[in-house]
Structure 1
Amino acid sequence: MKKSILLSAFSLFVSLTFLSCKNNEEKLKDAQKDMIQAQKKLIKAESESMRQYENYRMKVSKRITDNELAIADLKIKAIDGTMSQKEKYNAQVEKLEIKNMELKQTLDAYGSYNADTWDSFKKDVDARAAALEKDFEAINRK
């Protein structure tokens, strides 16, 4: 009787060991599948992030180019008035040129493509571009 109980216990132990090995193998395979899926999602997200950045970069680059053309027009545009008025106008045009160049440098300097820095970068560039637009409006009203 003791032998049959021991034999049953041993059989149960071997069976459980075999089943738990199989479960571990299955768990390992499942974990590997999950890891591959996570890697695919990461690659897709990085690709989407790069696409968003490139689209945004093209949009802002166009604005910068448009600003450069407007600055060139302002430089050509002659204003009537005293010498001090002309100097003030030229100084304002020069400030526009500097701000536009800084906007371009900010856009070119962005090098990390993660969600944390993307939002703050985009807000910074949008704020700079909006401020530059206001400056253009102010100088064109004169």
Structure 2
Amino acid sequence: MPIGQLLLCPMLDDRGSTFSSHQMAGIDVWDRTSNTTAWQAALGDRFEAVDLPPYAAPDRATDLSGLPPAYIDVGSAETFRDEDVAYAGGQAELHVWPGAYHGFDSFAPAAALSRDAREARTRRLRRVLARPGSEET
């Protein structure tokens, strides 16, 4: 049984209709064109299907209550920003890193923001993986 979700700049919405997906078109490392290509590859003939299940595109889910707690990590200057914030819906630990683009921590691993992001993820993992009754140090 899963005990948590650790979602780093996740690709969650196949529709490409969010403000950030339009805002970052042609600018972000992973933009609308990359996103459409990936969704077409993943969904095949189901791409753009109205009745696509949320297991294929999680942002289509209307009820996330049965899922384990989520940690979502996304940059403020990236294509996935708005879909990731929508998925969090106030029910997740959400980090929107200021000025960060898709994959920022891989491209600039020594940057202070990248280090902060890794530290936040590590703290979350420690909390989730801690045995019941143990305290985080």
Same fold, TM exceeding 0.5?
Answer: no
Q: TM-score range by the shorter chain?
A: under 0.3
In terms of fraction of residues, the more helix-rich structure is 1
| Bigger relative contact order (CA 8 A; separation at least 6) | 2
Identify, as 1 or 2, the structure richer in strand. Answer: 2
Scaled by the length of structure 2, what TM-score is found? 0.26
Could you tell me the TM-score, scaled by structure 1's length? 0.25
